Amino acid sequence: MKNYLLVSILFLGHLTQAQSELDWWNDAVFYEVFLRSFYDSDGDGVGDFKGLTEKLDYLNDGDPNTDTDLGITGIWLMPINPSPSYHGYDVTDYSGINPDYGTMEDFKAFLAAAHARGIKVIIDYVMNHSSAQHQWFVDSKSSASAEKRDWYRWSDTKPGYSGPWGQNVWHSSGTGYYYGIFWDQMPDLNYENADLKAAMFDHAAYWIDEIGIDGFRLDAVKYIYENGSQLEDLEATHTFFKDLSSHIKSFNPDAITVGEAWTSTSKVVPYVTDERIDFCFEFDLATSIINAARSGSISNLTDQVTNVINAYPWYQFSTFLTNHDQNRIMNELSSDIGKSKIAASIYLTLPGVPFLYYGEEVGMLGAKPDENIRRPMQWTGGRNAGFTTAGSAWNAPSSNYADNNVDKMEDDPSSLLNHYKKLIHTRNEYAALRTGDFITLDASLGGVLTYLRQLDDERVVIAINTTSSNKRFDIDFSSYASASDLPPFDHIGGESLLSVSSEGDLKGLFLSPYQTMILTFDREATVLNASSYGQFEVVPNPAHDLIRINTGTKNLVQHYQLLALNGAVVQSGVFKNEIPVEKVDNGLYLLKITMGNITHQQKIIIKH
């Protein structure tokens, strides 16, 4: 017996806002790059600007009419300044370029190539602390009367308090104790000193005004000011970022600041209000997305989405899964590709500004310590994962690179990489997915997350099955349907759902385990036939152990689903000219074959 569940629309935070009030970053999809690990152009085992420039076509080829690139429109570069460490978060020259990565001319060439493709570029600006090897600190610790002594915090005796997570924050030197919240090699800068503040503001202006970057990702924004043992989230810190934002935008009104305030939503929001930081990363929401993908339970996620939308200025938060400081999403989800797909589906269709962490789209593995979260990008299944021609890379690739790499996944229509491409290109195509209203649908479907994104007359329905079970349900869409609607088109499955639309409702929707649908109503249905795609033949019928597909084109990779008459997916995958069915039970089935936006479907009998 079929159980049909009716999805009724609940107005949980049904919000509206003029699109004109949103800025360019709400239309962007960002990609976080650790340059050391992205691509090595000169064979020294370390990634560089020339390597990143070579790979820009993978990220965005500059042609909006193609869908073979990833489709991102923004790049965040982790620190590119000179630094004694591999990660770069202890800077020795805020206006310089790390020589491991190339020269300033190499960076400018990359920046021009990115801008030519419509890609915005932001860089990490580490304002909370410098390297202990920075000349400012070398001078500061030289004596109690040093010129730059007050550019850092000093005490003659060790204060009797620890840091927010119980760590030592006061470090001994020959001239006293200095404050450093993260590490003794990262002394905190003292913004009570006006000269230090002016110097850091000047460096920011240099990158915006002279070099031409599009903004900054601001590291560790919670810790800029301290008051005795009060070490985070001070009002002086909030005011500081209003000053910084005003300074940066005086050189480029469109320049952005993105804040890392790794704390609860309620404590992050003040950083985004009152013209301070443009938007911040939403860590609580990321945790809720991962938990929903891991468990198949969506109630906490829907609550957090509503909380976030209502808490921030309109959509001024970043959605993401994990970053360079956290175990990679494939580790969090136990290498489950299905769960990884739905995690991506959720955050790339929600409001906010999405950020991917490099390699996430091919399922790279990585767990603490941090070096293992930042391994080389997996381009191929060959030596060093195709990252470098050197005998060895600065760090070994992840253990799954032979199967999880760009070269292999690009040829598989059902791969995680191609799932990301579909999600990003669909988001780029439909403004409703980027800046439209968010209308939550009934979340009582036992793990099916459904919502509507709407902007003016453009409507996109998202349905995501977070469970390992098949789900069949209806959506009452009559309040949003239009007489001019075409049959709903699923941008993930690549087919028109000709049979599910009836008088404004969506009837008999079916989701297999971990399946996503993104439905729009503006696309003509295209069915594969002899006139639209040459000769087409499925033989034999009845089939025994093998189905042969003749399309008139040899070795064309296609995607298929073999469905039972109740809609359950019995078998699916990719093929060129043959589909093995020796393990399928005897019976009558529906065979669906998809090539891009072209779909052929017919009934077939299997009889062994």
Catalytic residue ranges: 219, 260
CA atoms of 334 and 343, how far apart (whole Å): 13
Percent of the chain that is helix, strand, coil (3-state, to 5): 30, 25, 50
- Residue 242: phi and psi, rounded to 5, are -65, -40
As given in the structure block, the two tokens for residue 503 are 């008088």
Q: Which sign does the torsion angle of CA 584, 588, 592, 593 carry?
A: positive
CA atoms of 566 and 267, how far apart (whole Å): 49
As given in the structure block, the two tokens for residue 343 are 């995690």
CA atoms of 42 and 388, how far apart (whole Å): 8
Which residues lie across from 459 on neighbouring strands?
454
The residue length of the chain stands at 608
| Straight-line distance from the first to the last Cα atom of the chain, in angstroms, rounded to the nearest whole number | 27
User: For the CA atoms of the chain, what is the radius of gyration?
Assistant: 26
DSSP string, 105-153: HHHHHHHHHHHHTT-EEEEEE--SB--TTSHHHHHHTT-TT-TTGGGB-
Where do runs of H (alpha helix) occur along 206-336?
Answer: 235-251, 265-272, 283-295, 299-311, 329-332
Where do runs of H (alpha helix) occur along 37-92?
Answer: 49-54, 56-59
The closest alpha carbon to 536, from 599, 469, 452, 456, belongs to 599
Contacts of 170 (CB under 8 A, 6+ apart): 155, 158, 159, 177, 178, 179
CA 367 to chain centre: 18
DSSP string, 435-489: HSEEEEBP--SSSEEEEEEEETTEEEEEEEE-SSS-EEEEE--TTT--TTPPPPE
CA atoms of 58 and 51, how far apart (whole Å): 12
As given in the structure block, the two tokens for residue 514 are 């971990």
CA atoms of 486 and 500, how far apart (whole Å): 12
CA atoms of 559 and 551, how far apart (whole Å): 13
- How far, CA to CA in Å, does 588 sit from each of 120, 562, 584, 603, 605? 52, 10, 11, 7, 5
Q: What is the DSSP letter of 395?
A: S
The answer to whether the CB of 141 falls within 8 A of the CB of 175 is yes
